[in-house]
Amino acid sequence: MPLAKGELRGLLWVFELDDRSDRWEQFLAEATRLGHRSVLQITAEFSSGEVSAAEWCHLSPQWHHGYPQPEDTYLEVSYDQAGHCPVCHIGLCQSAPLRMRAEPDWGRRSIMQMFWIYDAWFVTPEAHSSVFAPYGVASRPVLSKSGRTLERVVQLTIDEIVPLVENRTQGEMCDTCSRFKLHERMTDFAPKPARMPDSPLVQSELYYGSGGSAFRDTLVRRDLVAAIRSAGLRGATFHPCAT
């Protein structure tokens, strides 16, 4: 139904408040009073200095490009499924190049992920050769749905798996495989590696996610973080680890 001139059918109000504010408790009380009419999202934001000072940072995507192809059979096409759970998907191991529907529309961005596979990272070939390759990070090709090698995107190869100093406990146990994964939300500094990794780009031993989604978190060493930021690569953010 068209609205009359000047008529408003609804309003969306967005408020941001630091949890250290004197009004934080009042803010929470008001959100609780509003009930289903409000959505409370708690996140963590860090200064540029905090990111620069961290020995390690978790890598978080700012956008996603499509879905792995073919959508119905990408697990069979690109993954070794031995030992993986078909319900929660813990235990998948990539064994062949991932496939996309088409070349990414990068715009001014250079880093991205696809939906469904949240531990696979993709960059432009130029970003890989100029920023990641000098730190020893290899790449693998990405294919089209028909199997043609795409020219404007490569996948970063991340082989090293490390344990984290993880103090969070909220998560879920899979009823099928009895394996546990933590929920992803972080509202403070991220868990750091429990040992010093050899590579500047690593993934967590623990799985994160919920329902049918399971993935390893990706961590970046400080010198590589600095190189990514210095090059102005867009498409991801950094969540600093605790010291």
The pLDDT of residue 36: 60
Beta strand segments in 19-178, E: 56-61, 79-80, 93-94, 99-100, 111-112, 122-123, 139-144, 149-156, 161-162, 171-173
3: pLDDT strictly greater than 70: no
Alpha-carbon distance of 138 to 155, in angstroms, equals: 9
Domain boundaries, the chain: 11-39, 48-240
Q: What is the pLDDT of residues 130-170, one digit of tens each?
A: 999 999 999 999 999 999 999 999 999 999 999 999 888 88
Residue 184 has pLDDT above 90, yes or no: no
Tell me the percentage of the chain whose pLDDT exceeds 70.
Answer: 87
pTM of the full structure = 0.85
> Three-class SS string for 171-220?
EEECCCCCCEEECCCCCCCECCECCCCCCCEEEEEEEECCCCCCEEEEEE
Q: Which residues lie closer than 8 Å to 95 by C-beta, 6 or more apart?
A: 78, 79, 80
